[in-house]
Structure 1
């Protein structure tokens, strides 16, 4: 399953809804649907908000491969690379941090790390390629 859309908030929201509905029709285990939708939304919204910051937004392409035991999602864009050419580690703020001292962002990466089985990022030929894997075999 593949879907391409412009990197805008409205198009991203519609794209995430189409992808979620399409994966459900293709047999995504219902107990994984919310995890996948949240991780997709966080990753795609990062593209819209950060990869295309200060440049004209282009497109986002999402390719999904679903089989009985897993779902692989590849999100591609031509925006700015991730800082350091790697995804943030998703470490949450320490407990006891005062609200005013919490970082502005980074919580999405924590969620993505918690909800996926594996994350891989590469920058190749001016293109960001973020791969998210969801394993199902250990689920009941």
Structure 2
């Protein structure tokens, strides 16, 4: 089956998210609709973790930014592509690895994600460019690698202790 014909989110689970452990593997077509459905699938799959609203918001924001950047930039010139995400939760940390075969990062490096100047009129506020700054601020151990035709982005999301 050609990737552009895949319409549904594919989800496999090595084990259920319960207690302090769990893993999800998600494969989605690289398009906006599939990213939205993928985020809903991740939220559903992680519902047993009892994350705080703040922690869930961080997961959703970071993963949405990463997936949307892949759709918008890595696959912008192609009609199809797939994104694979691995999420492993253990002891209040979510380890994430996202893989695609789109274009590489500019200069083969992660964007720095500098903060935007917001000291201007509301009408002059920038419309975008906040994503990489947020990703850098909210994640730990953020790494990017390109091997052959494959991009791999990995990072950790530490959560507040539930004690």
Q: Could you tell me the TM-score, scaled by structure 2's length? A: 0.75
Tell me if 1:14 matches 2:37.
yes
Post-superposition Cα deviations, 1:17-45, rounded to whole Å, max 9, x if no partner, equal 111221232x1622411101000000000
Of the three residues 42, 51, 55, the one matched with 1:29 is: 51
RMSD between aligned residues: 2.1
Query: For the pair shown, which has the larger CA radius of gyration, 1 or 2?
Result: 2
Q: CA contact under 8 A between 2:118 and 2:125: conserved in structure 1?
A: no
Structure 1 residues 100 and 76: alpha-carbon distance in aligned structure 2, compared to 1, 3 A threshold:
same
Tell me if 1:89 matches 2:112.
yes
Per residue, is there more helix in 1 or in 2?
1
| Residues 1-140 of structure 1: pairs in structure 2 closer than 5 A | 1-25=24-48, 27=49, 29-30=51-52, 31-97=54-120, 105-136=128-159
Listed as ranges, the gaps of 5+ residues in structure 2 are 1-23
Number of residues of Structure 1 aligned to a counterpart in Structure 2? 139
Bigger RCO (CA 8 Å, 6+ sep): 1
Q: CA deviation at 1:132?
A: 2.0
Q: CA deviation at 1:100?
A: 7.2
Post-superposition Cα deviations, 1:77-108, rounded to whole Å, max 9, x if no partner, equal 00001112121111112343566776664211
Q: Distance in 2 between matches of 1:6 and 1:118?
A: 26
Per residue, is there more strand in 1 or in 2?
2
